[in-house]
Chains A and B, each alone.
Chain A
Amino acid sequence: MALIELKDIHKSYPLDGFDLEILKGITLKIEKGEFVAIMGPSGSGKSTLMNILGCLDTPSSGSYMLDGQAVQNLSADELAEIRNQKIGFVFQGFNLLSRTTALENVELPMVYSNTPSKLRQERAQKALTAVGLSERMHHMPNQLSGGQQQRVAIARAIVNEAPIIFADEPTGNLDTKMSVEIMQLFTELNEKMGRTIILVTHEEDIARYAKRIIKIVDGEINSDQRNKK
């Protein structure tokens, strides 16, 4: 059974009395352990698809099976629970809590899964060590470089043992050298730790790290192919 299975997903928003259709029937399967890049020009619907895949939004119609569970009709709180257990997010703007140490930022998903404080710390330390930040655990985000902040975000995404990591333009705010480091880290997570990674980007260079590239144009899948390295 596939980890992610979309069937004929539609999403439309009301606009000036009409329904603006952003996604026009997306059908897609992603298996456990894949490293997928979703590409597309702006306005293609890739962000909307990403939001639905990440359980931040629900489709207007169609079905979405995530890890064997139908999620298209769940309530906001049920989706929050799914996000907490199954999904780790890495955003373009890092989205760390300010005035909060790296360690505490990484602990955050476990705060909402009600993990005891001691276990939380242990696992957050392990995750930060895994992304190479063992020396920076008690730094505030504004004391860290962009690349380091993104590493904290990645540590936060993996700490709850979530099987899927969504990365939305994770290198958009980083220079080339740091981008390479971050992408290598994703590759490592995928290959050594078996995490499924879904990457949204518009940069060909970044998409090349993925093993499968899905191109979205005008709300539909334009191409879906294995990446020939």
Chain B
Amino acid sequence: MIDFSTIFSIAIRAIKANKMRSILTSLGIIIGVAAVIVMLAIGNGAQVTIQNEMKSMGTNLIMIRSGTSTSGGQRMGHGSQPTMKAGDGNAIEEKIEGISLAAPVLNDAGQIVYGNANWSTSIVGTDNRYFQIKDWSLAYGRYFSQTDITSAGKVAILGTTVVKELFGDVDPLGKTIRVKGIPFTVIGVTTSRGQSGPGMDQDDMIYIPLSTAQKKVTGISFPDMVNMIMLQAKTAQDTYTSQDAIKALLRQRHNLGTNKDDDFVIMNLTQMMEMMETSTKVLTILLGSIASISLLVGGIGIMNIMLVSVTERTREIGIRMAIGAKSWDIRLQFLTEALVLSLIGGLIGVICGLIGVAVISFFSSFKAIVSIFYILLPFSFAGIVGLFFGFYPAYKASLLNPINALRYE
């Protein structure tokens, strides 16, 4: 059997002998590999974006919102009939095994003023558990103190967008702002989280203690009212398994008889996120498979040229056979040539694909993400394609009869 370095140099020589043809043949593989890399990077980017969003929303998240109200036959949508209390959240946190944290949320919106600047933003009345669930740290300053929470302290933590709009370059810590006309002291600023979902700026918010929101800022229709309770389950599994227990507890607390509908809605965000993740995974696979088809077409191009090459080089094959090449030597020679051709195409394809990914990331806000696996996958696929489509021509070459091959003109 012929040694590897010799057979490799024979292949390189044969490829070099027909440079233009080799490049054109590889083009199919180049385009295929580049397309697969770009498509996988786009799918991967979408997946990572969703995962990051998931993390920024909090892991293992369940949200409970008030139920629907009916007014004159018109049903008003979730949250239209306020029923939830902060106490419900505390009870869930205390009594339900799978739930580790419950943060009350009372939403409002309003004008905030500092000096001559003013800005309209969302106001969230909550406590420190909110930041814990969202795993959200402060850029500087401090969280709410126990006194802030129990005695409705007029203190606020600002999102970075609000800081930018109201303060510019001024340090906001300790400054007094007016929230819907009421003076608040700025005690902290959150780190920047950026966009969440379509067009929602997570940094365009201010946070005040729940008690302050309930008593001084937002009008509430009954004591301890909140719009929403955010729950964090201990594991992703718990977000599913604890739902029934939460439901039972809330029905009991809200005194709902068996004939009455729930006056709250439980939303499992983990489930939603997992569904979105699955759909992007499917998308990635779909994009990748479509791109792989061009790789297959490239493989057919290689087979075509290899068949031409075998015919053209019939005499060479005859010489090699007369001199002692066995059928396996001939097969190996043409297989190696097909493999080298496809791997060179694969290599150029990887480079083109990476350039494509960089261009996409540069010209759009979308981050396409490449990983080693997503580069090696199409590259090795190109090699397999080369071997597969190179086999038939190589086999054909090895079956030649040396006498006829030597006579071939």
By a beta-carbon cutoff of 8 Å, the part of chain A in contact with chain B is: 51, 54, 56-57, 76-77, 80-81, 83-85, 89, 91, 95-100, 108-109, 111-114, 117, 156, 160
Contacts and interface: CB of A to CB of B under 8 A. Distances in A.
A95 B319 contact: yes
B234 interface: no
A51 B13 CA distance: 31
A112 B319 CA distance: 12
Contacts, number: 64
Query: Is chain B's binding surface mostly helix, strand, loop or mixed?
Result: helix
Nearest to B16: A99
A56 B2 contact: no
A164 to B, nearest CB: 13
A114 B323 CA distance: 13
Contact of A83 (B2, B323, B406): B323
A80 B319 contact: no
Contact of B329 (A54, A85, A100, A112): A112
A156 B323 CA distance: 9
A80 B2 contact: no
A109 B323 CA distance: 6
A95 B3 contact: no
Interface in B86-122: none
18 contacts: A51-B403, A77-B326, A80-B321, A80-B327, A81-B326, A85-B324, A89-B322, A89-B323, A97-B316, A97-B319, A99-B17, A100-B13, A108-B320, A108-B323, A111-B6, A112-B325, A112-B326, A114-B3
Nearest to A51: B403
B13 A95 contact: no
Nearest to B321: A80
Closest 9 CB pairs of A and B: A84-B324, A112-B324, A77-B326, A80-B326, A95-B319, A109-B323, A112-B325, A83-B324, A56-B403
A86 B87 CA distance: 99
Contacts of B319: 95-97, 108
B328 interface: yes
A91 B402 CA distance: 13
Interface string B124-147: 000000000000000000000000
A151 to B, nearest CB: 17
Contact of B324 (A91, A100, A113): A113
A136 B159 CA distance: 82
A111 B2 contact: yes
Given A80-B321, A108-B319, 8 more contacts: A56-B406, A76-B327, A77-B326, A111-B2, A111-B3, A112-B2, A114-B2, A117-B5
A97 B316 CA distance: 6
B403 A80 contact: no
Interface in B380-406: 402-403, 406
Contacts of B329: 112
B315 interface: yes
Given A95-B319, A97-B319, A114 B324 contact: no
